[in-house]
Amino acid sequence: MLVSFFAHIFVPLIALVAVPVIQFDKNTPIPVQAAEGGTDMCILAIGATGSMFINPKLHDKFGPEWMLLISIIIVLATVTLAGVSIHVNRSHMAVRQRAWTNCFLGGFAISLICGVVVWGAIWMEVLKVMSLTVAVSLVVATGGSRSCELGARPSGAHASALGGTRTR
């Protein structure tokens, strides 16, 4: 899970900081640079999605068919967001409005990838806790581990609850 977090969340966030620092120009107004940075975030999100296709842990968590479908949907969404962001940059909106819109679009694109990784990790942990809770509940409901042995037949009240006959 740590590798998934590093690959899908940490590295893109480092790039989000590094790219604007590298591209910073004192002669260009900051809102114009922010608007271009929003487009860069959308493009960065497209690249970060590519690693989701080959991540074996996400494939294990979601299953290969679902992971393929999720990856395709995320790629289409990030490409669409990048296209909208490019269109916003070419529009005649006010500079500050372009900056806010593009930063929102870029942040949303990055959050899609982060959301899949985090949701996959949390969802699997929730399923593990739920399965352990059900297992413990079954052990307690059946009277302990003696009736949970492989091949053991329920007796007494347990048998009648399960539709069998009561033994004495």
Q: What is the pLDDT of residues 89-147, one digit of tens each?
A: 999 999 999 999 999 999 899 888 888 877 776 766 776 777 788 778 777 777 665 54
148: which DSSP letter?
A: G
**Interatomic CA distance for residues 145 and 125, integer angstroms:** 25
Nearest to 98 by CA among 42, 37, 45: 37
Structure tokens that stand for 24 in this block: 């910073």
* Cβ neighbours of 126 (radius 10 Å): 10
Q: pLDDT tens digit string along 46-62? A: 888 877 777 777 777 78
Buried/exposed code over 96-107 (b: 16+ C-beta within 10 A; e: otherwise): eebbbbbbebbb
pTM: 0.64
Residue 152 predicted with pLDDT over 60: no
Percent of the chain with pLDDT over 70: 76
